[in-house]
Structure 1
């Protein structure tokens, strides 16, 4: 017990990342080791990126523990573990950490990345759908290797993402992989009777109205002519949709989840 207290005092953020094991599995402990004790690890993270993730973990682990925040704390730790996991993958793919001012502290000793990190961990703490934590963590890693995305665009992408339902994330994932896994040609029901199909259709219509998917919702024609029937195969990501899909690394959404969402939409 004394050793645990000493370790927490020495590296408060490490305990946070390790707590993510409840959500992220045993990978969380490996990620904590890579961030806080990298010497034994077979892989390495960019020094600046690792320092930022440690700084983010330390800052997020300063609040006093309470029973109400225990699960949220685990989700925050898991998000950092997932960020570490994808950072290793992106490095292996040859994606280098951005060299602009994104990771560099500015006024108030805060870097733009610190603000993004805080916003992501707040979102991770708040979500009850814990599978989403994985993709929130991925946003941290993806933004760190995307110099074409300035901090304001990253914040915009996060705001768009957190305003969507989990099934909307999965529908974006489905459309994003349409070149590899063709979408159904059968038209979606226009007035489904079941609640599941109705909810899925509402999710899809909101994505269209909010400008994340094309085509936009069909508008009534003069004279009451029948509206064209929308097929999943007709859907395309808009630029907004591409931003959310890219930042959340929705390519990693599980195939089973995509199949279930499309089945919901079919009614």
Structure 2
């Protein structure tokens, strides 16, 4: 395959993300492959990383996986444009440089992100995986191992759990409900939402951890959403997936699933 054919194939992959990323896919493909003609810009180093990821993934034959792979790269462009406009430069610590006997860390992270997107049957998560790729590119305080840990943690979380993390992360500007949570809701939907929250506590993403039974069978204190805080693990996932940008209606839906109106 010639270099021109590879470029065409990589661009086609990004454009294939349209069913998830919408018109952003066409615009993102232009930013990555025709920067001089694009209306917005990203770092040349980051664009090169995206081209590598697109070209190496272009052979995907499973239709929906191909859509998600293209979409995650399109969303990475979307957030990269935002941070570029904000004046946040890409990292200069060797993240984009080839290493002896190995490829750049940026390429490894991009491959991991695309692989995570391909596995994400709940396609709402794909946007924030793309955001992670762009956020890491301007975050020199997180190395490849830390990024891998964030992806591992995020890979276990449902969309509703991401929304709950977003709710706790924005608690300073949007107060959380003060009503006590039921420990064993009667309805299955509310029970599932309560289990999602308990799993976030058990996995160390939210404090306080689940309350333990007291000697003598004393009643446990009732947990409120307003009591919750992000742990350091939770901060990592919240920050790198840019959950600050997760839609307010998704947060409201997660709270409503537990029978809690938005305050």
Shorter-chain TM-score bucket reads over 0.9
Relative to its length, the structure with more helix (as a share) is 1
Match of 1:98 in 2: 91
With structure 1 as the length reference, what TM-score do the two structures score? 0.93
For residues 10 and 229 of structure 1, do their structure 2 counterparts lie closer, same or farther at Cα, with a shift above 3 Å needed?
A: closer
Match of 2:8 in 1: 11
Following superposition of structure 1 onto structure 2, how do residues 113-152 of structure 1 map, counting pairs within 5 Å?
113-152=106-145
For residues 242 and 225 of structure 1, do their structure 2 counterparts lie closer, same or farther at Cα, with a shift above 3 Å needed?
A: same
Question: Is 1:260 aligned to residue 257 of structure 2?
Answer: no
Match of 2:25 in 1: 28
Structure-2 separation of matches of 1:23 and 1:29: 12
Match of 1:163 in 2: 156
Structure-2 separation of matches of 1:209 and 1:227: 17
Q: Is the 1:8–1:15 Cα contact (8 Å) retained in structure 2?
A: no
Q: Is the 1:24–1:78 Cα contact (8 Å) retained in structure 2?
A: yes
Match of 2:74 in 1: 81
Alignment: residue pair count: 259
TM-align CA RMSD: 1.6
CA offsets 1:101-130 (integer angstroms, 9 cap, x no match): 111121445111111111111111111111
Match of 1:192 in 2: 185
Q: For structure 1, which runs of at least 5 residues remain unmatched after alignment? A: 1-5
Q: Is the 2:7–2:55 Cα contact (8 Å) retained in structure 1?
A: no
1:70 Cα deviation from its structure 2 partner? 1.0
Question: Is 1:248 aligned to residue 241 of structure 2?
Answer: yes
With structure 2 as the length reference, what TM-score do the two structures score? 0.95
Following superposition of structure 1 onto structure 2, how do residues 50-65 of structure 1 map, counting pairs within 5 Å?
50-61=47-58, 63=59, 65=60
1:42 Cα deviation from its structure 2 partner? 2.8
Q: Is the 2:7–2:33 Cα contact (8 Å) retained in structure 1?
A: no
1:8 Cα deviation from its structure 2 partner? 4.6
Return the match for 1:49 from 46, 50, 56.
46
Deviates most, 8-17 or 87-96 = 8-17
Structure-1 separation of matches of 2:5 and 2:187: 51
